[in-house]
Structure 1
Amino acid sequence: MSEFSVFFVLSRFELGGLERVHLNILPKLIDVGVQAQIVTSYIHSNAESMLEKDTPVRVLGGGRFSFFFRLFCVLRAQQANFIFTSANDIGCFVLLFRRFFWPHSKIIWSQHLSISGPLNASRGFKRFHLLFERWLMRRLLLKADAVIAVSRAVADDISRSVVAHPKLKVILNPVVSDGFTERCSVDVEWPWPDYSVPTVIFVGRLAPVKRVDLLIEAFSKVKSSMDARLLILGDGPEAGKLKRLAGKHDLSKVCSFVGHQDDALPWIQRSDLLVLCSVSEGFGLVLVEAMACGVQVVSTDCPDGPSEVLAGGRFGRLVPTNDICSLAQAIEQSLIAPLVDRAKLQERAADFSVDRAVSQYLEVLETVARQ
């Protein structure tokens, strides 16, 4: 493996699931001798805490167009054995110019989101951009040496929306890593004086796609019939709006916004139920984290990851998107009568271990190297 050099190219490094996946994979590849590094345009200040001091990251800087120019220069000069793409525009760029400028590099296209979901929800210039991007993908994707999808649903969407690639492989996102238990046990500043009241937790970016407003509306219904608390971890453009909505429903004493936390695991561990209420998800890493903690989960049945992660509802209640009443009912049922016992949740979470995913990534590298 020591002869393999690998670039994981990200358009930007922010606080999100995609970045956590790469940080889980990278050290394991390095441990077996792969010369792997992340190449990105910039690192958001909120995400700096995710990086260890020795994490190999190359920051190219610049705006969107200057980033692509600098990426062009790096790929041409370095000629890495493998280039992993993580965004559709980057994938198209790398494949379009590979023949002329980095012909010896193998291109592995990794798909973390559906193609059709964002396209169907888009309007105006955004929709035109995504349509053009899909048009390019239909002409370029078969040139990739391999395609990795993070779920079967995403893989099926690629085949339907773009093209059926003969070397498409599903590798579930790696979530459960070494030191998981120790991370869960770290002390936190719990916003209430005790743990006697059941706590519902949300973890994620406070953005429209996450529909945290739906959760607050549903929780207000739950609160009218039973004692419960709502804990919201994360930050984003809707933070102010959501705090006002919680105030409107008189939830100030039972709903706490604790902002961004470097590690959500100890907060999840101390909660009773995790809720994901998005209108779309590429995967839903936080669902696996909750199951690994033995915590019950409720999720909207949105495209493309949650149903697959929860095995069609076997490991957590699934509700329709944008349905306040169904979400409230599922939350209340889960607090009163847990759907799955702790041991079975943790057993399911083991399917998303870092070691399992890394062994599959290594298998892809070896297979592509022999082509």
Structure 2
Amino acid sequence: MKRNQQDSLNKAPLSLYIPSMAGGGAEKITVNLANCFADQGIKVDLVVSNLKGPLIKDISDKIRIVDLKSARVIFSLIPLMIYLGRNKPGAILSSLNYANVIVIIATLLANLLAKTKTRVYVVEHCNLSQTLLHPPNFRTKFLPLLMRLTYKWADGIITVSQGVAADLAKIIGIPREKIFVIYNPVFNKNVISARMETPDHPWFKPGSPPVILGAGRLHPAKDFSCLIKAFKALREQLDVRLIILGEGEERSKLELLIRDLGLQDDVDLPGFVGNPYEYMYHSSVFVLSSQREGLPTVLIEALACGLPVVSTDCPSGPREILEGGKYGFLLRVGDELSLTKTLADILTNKVELERIPNETIMTYEHETAAKQYMKLLIGESI
């Protein structure tokens, strides 16, 4: 980084915006980036609409947290404009498309009214076309129009995978060459020590049956129902258990399914855990059952822990990460029978996978991604 650019970053804060500190992938990535920037001596503001969620404890004490105290993202527009006008950050980085729209508008208005010169960058974590097939709410139907109107004013658009980039360019009409792909900063060197700890869970005692692990927000897009049903068939063949880490709106539905299938003694939903690596290191296989993704963080984390992985070949990310199935099994979305058979084959040592090279895993290391982000945020090409 050039000296004058470093000096400007020390004088004006670099702002990262996220709606809350919920335990999702985008929130986790934002915290990872903010911590990495702060460790480099950069003045960082982490701006949130509503300061709540389990990831608060992971924020470095070197970071200033700015709570806009807004119940919804749209109500953050004016407080965000005021923040930008008063603090004049050199750049603001936003994640999640509905929030990105608001952040772009707030930055444009602050630059106009308060005569600031804040650059605005937005990150797309999900495959937009797949989201539109299963809109979580009414406002989602208007997202493409809002994104077409606002994204052209961003100083940079970043996606987390090539698949997300191609999809975004097609849906909102932005030239592909104007979209930058930066893989997520998923883990740091602390993974090596964190994964060695033993989970505080009775199913990991010596001599216990093997554990299949799933992780992610308990949301329809993750299709944990498919995983549970496939596990039911597998349980009839092998003595095995299933743990799904994460929290979300589908908890009650999944718990009912577990009861209906008589799996209460073999499936556990422990919720959000602070150290998923220890679960990954001590499990026998990891499953990603999603219907859609952007670049699934948990899949990369599982690979970094040396865990065999099975994933749906959903758009976008798994095929990219696993290099077409070279480093993990790719199955059709919703294919319970294939999932059951593949898990059985792995657990009975009928199949083997090539281990992913360390240099490939390091593509997703914090510092690697942070350097690429920083080049964009200070106006250099990557």
Say yes or no: TM over 0.5.
Answer: yes
CA distance in 1, matches of 2:83, 2:343: 50
CA distance in 2, matches of 1:137, 1:363: 24
CA pair 61-98 structure 1, distance change in 2 beyond 3 A: closer
Match of 1:81 among 90, 94, 105: 90
Q: Residues 190-229 of structure 1 correspond to what in structure 2 (within 5 A)?
A: 190-192=201-203, 193-229=205-241
Pairing 1:116–2:132 present:
no
**For this pair of structures, how many residues does the alignment match?**
365
Asked if structure 2 preserves the Cα contact closer than 8 Å seen for 1:191 and 1:256, the reply is no
- Give the letter aligned to residue 323 of structure 1: D
CA pair 31-256 structure 1, distance change in 2 beyond 3 A: closer
- Give the letter aligned to residue 93 of structure 2: F
Q: Counterpart in 2 of 1:8?
A: 16
Match of 1:67 among 76, 79, 82: 76
- Give the letter aligned to residue 112 of structure 1: H
Tell me the C-alpha RMSD between the 2 structures: 2.2
CA pair 148-215 structure 1, distance change in 2 beyond 3 A: same
Asked if structure 1 preserves the Cα contact closer than 8 Å seen for 2:81 and 2:109, the reply is no
CA pair 195-206 structure 1, distance change in 2 beyond 3 A: farther
Q: Counterpart in 2 of 1:266?
A: 278
Match of 1:130 among 140, 144, 152: 140
Asked if structure 2 preserves the Cα contact closer than 8 Å seen for 1:3 and 1:34, the reply is no
TM-score norm. by structure 1 comes to: 0.91
- Give the letter aligned to residue 314 of structure 1: K
Q: CA deviation at 1:31?
A: 2.9
Task: Kindly provide the CA deviation profile for residues 233-265 of structure 1, in whole angstroms up to 9, marking residues without a partner as x.
Answer: 222232233233223333333323323211111
Q: Residues 254-293 of structure 1 correspond to what in structure 2 (within 5 A)?
A: 254-293=266-305
CA distance in 1, matches of 2:303, 2:126: 22
Asked if structure 2 preserves the Cα contact closer than 8 Å seen for 1:2 and 1:34, the reply is no
Q: Residues 1-371 of structure 1 correspond to what in structure 2 (within 5 A)?
A: 1-4=6-9, 5-64=13-72, 65-96=74-105, 98-102=107-111, 103-122=116-135, 126-127=137-138, 129-165=139-175, 166-192=177-203, 193-336=205-348, 337-342=350-355, 344=356, 346-368=358-380
Name the SS for the 1:251 alignment partner.
coil
Q: CA deviation at 1:271?
A: 0.3
Q: CA deviation at 1:59?
A: 0.9
Bigger Cα displacement from structure 2, 139-148 vs 152-161: 139-148
Name the SS for the 2:378 alignment partner.
helix
Asked if structure 1 preserves the Cα contact closer than 8 Å seen for 2:84 and 2:107, the reply is no
Q: CA deviation at 1:211?
A: 1.4
CA distance in 2, matches of 1:237, 1:100: 35
Q: CA deviation at 1:217?
A: 0.6
In percent, how many aligned pairs have the same letter? 28
Name the SS for the 2:7 alignment partner.
coil
**Which consecutive residues of structure 1, in runs of 5 or more, have no partner in the other structure?**
none
CA distance in 2, matches of 1:68, 1:100: 10
CA distance in 2, matches of 1:88, 1:174: 19
Name the SS for the 1:44 alignment partner.
coil
CA pair 271-149 structure 1, distance change in 2 beyond 3 A: same
Q: Counterpart in 1 of 2:3?
A: none
- Give the letter aligned to residue 19 of structure 1: E
Q: CA deviation at 1:288?
A: 0.6
CA pair 201-16 structure 1, distance change in 2 beyond 3 A: same
Q: CA deviation at 1:218?
A: 0.1
Q: CA deviation at 1:195?
A: 4.4
Q: CA deviation at 1:367?
A: 2.8
